[in-house]
Amino acid sequence: MSRATLEKRPGDIARMFDAVAERYDRTNAVMTFGQERRWRRLVAAALDVKPGTRVLDLAAGTGASSLPFVAAGAHAVACDFSLGMLDVGRRTHPEVTFVAGDALRLPFGDGAFDAVTISFGLRNVADVATALAELARVTTPGGRLAVLETSHPPSPTLARLNRVYVERVMPVLARPFSSDPAAYGYLAESAGAWLDQDRLAAAMRAAGWGEVGWRNLLFGAVALHVARRPR
């Protein structure tokens, strides 16, 4: 499969994730040194998920990121446009509700969810502003948003080390574990080209979100942005 380009054509991106679906969760664990489980718990805490909370987990892939919501008693919907990911998810996590959908045209009504989140998926959409606006549309007034995404360490030294890891080490580590190691070249490039913490916060505000803030994880190589839809 040819690697998806940074133009982020939806068909290319979907095919890329279809190709890596079978081993995606295992590869993620390797790439994040096992930190992804802790980060998922932090997302659930940031959203204040409780029994009965309606949660949309966008770009959820196989649904592993939805498991903390289900464990908390929430009604979690895992939405993704990769049919390969959804197929693996339905087999692997039958306790999660899966829905096929495009981040730019979400198949849900206005105010359908109490909380929405997207983890390591926003940088792969073709139009970040539209995706953030769609997330706001389907969130009830006063509802929360959590965006977990790669970011940029504020320290110049750590930023250089992070670039070396993302651009050179990560694709090599992916080879023994991923069903399509070439796809991780694209993922590495997209991480390097992604917005820093301030610019993502500004994009969230421009899309109508309020009370925007963030928490750096892994020395800023990852950031958890949180916001609330104004009442």
What predicted TM-score, i.e. pTM, was given to this entire model? 0.84
For residues 57 and 61, what is the distance between their CA atoms, to the nearest angstrom? 9
Residue identified by tokens 């991480």 is 191
Mean of the per-residue pLDDT values for the chain?
86
Rounded Cα–Cα distance for residues 157 and 177 (Å): 29
* Residue pLDDT, tens place only, 81-135: 999 999 999 999 999 999 999 999 999 999 999 999 999 999 989 999 999 999 9
Environment class of 38 (CB within 10 Å of its CB; exposed 0-12, middle 13-18, buried 19+):
exposed
Q: Rounded to an integer, what distance in angstroms lies between the CA atom of residue 47 and that of residue 146?
A: 7
Res 180 pLDDT > 90: no
Please write the tens of the pLDDT for every residue from 186-213.
666 777 778 999 999 999 999 999 999 9
The topology under which CATH files domain 10-228 is Rossmann fold (3.40.50)
Chain mean position to CA 4 = 18
Count CB neighbours of 223 within 10 A: 23
Q: Over the stretch 18-69, which tens digit does the pLDDT of each residue have?
A: 666 666 677 666 667 678 889 999 999 999 999 999 999 999 999 999 999 9
Residues 184 and 65: their CA atoms lie apart, in Å, by: 19
- How long a stretch of residues is the chain? 231
At residue 215, what is the residue type?
R
